[in-house]
């Protein structure tokens, strides 16, 4: 009992730490695209610690509760994601549970910033949810592709199904699905061209506009856990998971760098353009993969 509590606690902090490290390296990586030096890789840790040690303002206790709920949802989702083969507690890594636990994080965040009463924050949330309706279509279709191929939604067994070597990875066997997945991931991470909900120059960072001190710190941590879970999903679904924790994190890192590279060279879509693109282009690619998997592919696990 105590051991499992310690494991869960440790896993939560491990996930946050890895996510923050990704963010730190990512900032330096993006800086190189812009021909600057960029901050040191540990800058994100400094930022979070600083945020938590400064005075903050809140408009209502619902704002506090929402911020806590926001991070809690994503931390809970990360508990079900097998890192390599490691899970903090016994589960099958049910992907639909993860897909539905992540929204509680976004809902909590949305509730918190709504309680601040700032219209810019609400506009940002409105855009974020619209975008969610966009990327959920290709991503759900990818999950269905996996069911068509392996009749499983358990991340553990989906990872095991790709252990036969590089050629058995789903990136090779399901190329259309992978492209759709990368597009959906870009939208999930709110990187360009899908960063309309943050849009600093337009709606003053949207949801973050009223956050200060530890509330901003919690938002930072939420983003870091989000990076971990979302890249982790792509790695498990398409890149063979990983035999070990180290390999898994390396693959996650590569996926995140890919996402940042796309971010560095694209401009921003308007939200309805982004949604349409996600529905029709990404969704279409995933749908082609689904039809291939359902009718042309033979053999299951």
Of 131-190, binders to another protein (CB under 8 A) are 132-133, 136-137, 140-141, 144, 147-148, 151-154
Q: Interface with another protein includes 245 (CB under 8 A)?
A: no
* Residue recorded with tokens 């890789």: 41
* Residue recorded with tokens 């309309």: 196
- Six token digits for residue 150: 């392996």
The whole-angstrom separation of Cα 3 and Cα 50 is 31
Taking CB under 8 A as the criterion, the residue among 125, 187, 199, 219 binding another protein is 125
* Residue recorded with tokens 């308007």: 270
Taking CB under 8 A as the criterion, the residue among 115, 180, 208, 262 binding another protein is 115
In this structure, are residues 228 and 18 in contact, taking their beta carbons and an 8 Å threshold? Answer: yes
Least separation, in Å, of the C-beta of 163 and another protein?
18
Burial track 247-271 (b if 16+ CB lie within 10 A, e otherwise): ebbebbbebbbebbebbeeeebbeb
Distances (CA, A) of 67 to 77, 88, 108, 139: 16, 24, 6, 26
Residues 272-291 that bind another protein (CB under 8 A): 272, 275-276, 287, 290
Q: Interface with another protein includes 270 (CB under 8 A)?
A: yes
Stretch near another protein under the rule CB under 8 A, chosen from 1-9, 162-170, 172-180, 187-195: 1-9
Taking CB under 8 A as the criterion, the residue among 21, 79, 83, 239 binding another protein is 79
Residues 190-229 that bind another protein (CB under 8 A): 209-210, 213-215, 217-218, 221
Taking CB under 8 A as the criterion, the residue among 6, 33, 46, 89 binding another protein is 89
* Residue recorded with tokens 């690619």: 285
Q: Which is nearer to another protein, 129 or 258 (CB)?
A: 129
The whole-angstrom separation of Cα 135 and Cα 141 is 10
Taking CB under 8 A as the criterion, the residue among 17, 39, 45, 103 binding another protein is 103
């Amino acid at each position: 009992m105590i051991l499992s509590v310690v494991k869960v606690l440790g896993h939560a902090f491990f996930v946050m730490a890895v996510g923050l490290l990704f963010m730190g390296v990512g900032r330096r990586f993006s800086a190189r695209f812009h021909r600057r030096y960029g901050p040191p890789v540990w800058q994100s840790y400094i930022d979070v610690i600083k945020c938590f040690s400064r005075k903050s303002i809140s408009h209502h206790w619902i704002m506090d509760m929402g911020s806590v709920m926001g991070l809690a949802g994503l931390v809970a989702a990360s508990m079900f994601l097998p890192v390599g083969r490691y899970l903090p507690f016994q589960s099958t890594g049910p992907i639909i549970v993860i897909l539905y636990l992540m929204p509680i994080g976004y809902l909590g965040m949305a509730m918190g910033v709504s309680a601040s009463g700032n219209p810019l924050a609400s506009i940002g949330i409105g855009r974020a949810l619209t975008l969610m309706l966009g990327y959920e279509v290709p991503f759900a279709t990818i999950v269905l592709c996996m069911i068509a191929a392996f009749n499983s939604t358990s991340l553990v067994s989906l990872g095991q199904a790709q252990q036969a070597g590089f050629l058995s990875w789903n990136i090779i066997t399901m190329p259309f699905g992978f492209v759709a997945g990368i597009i959906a991931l870009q939208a999930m991470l709110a990187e360009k061209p899908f960063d309309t909900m943050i849009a600093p120059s337009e709606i003053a960072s949207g949801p973050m506009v009223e956050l200060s001190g530890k509330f901003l710190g919690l938002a930072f941590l939420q983003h870091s856990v989000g990076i971990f879970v979302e890249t982790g999903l792509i790695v498990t679904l398409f890149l063979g998971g990983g035999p070990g924790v180290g390999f898994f994190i390396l693959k996650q890192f590569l996926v995140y760098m890919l996402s940042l590279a796309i971010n560095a060279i694209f401009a921003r879509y308007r939200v309805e353009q982004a949604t349409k693109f996600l529905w029709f282009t990404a969704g279409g690619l995933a749908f082609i993969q689904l039809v291939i998997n359902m009718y042309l592919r033979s053999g299951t696990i």
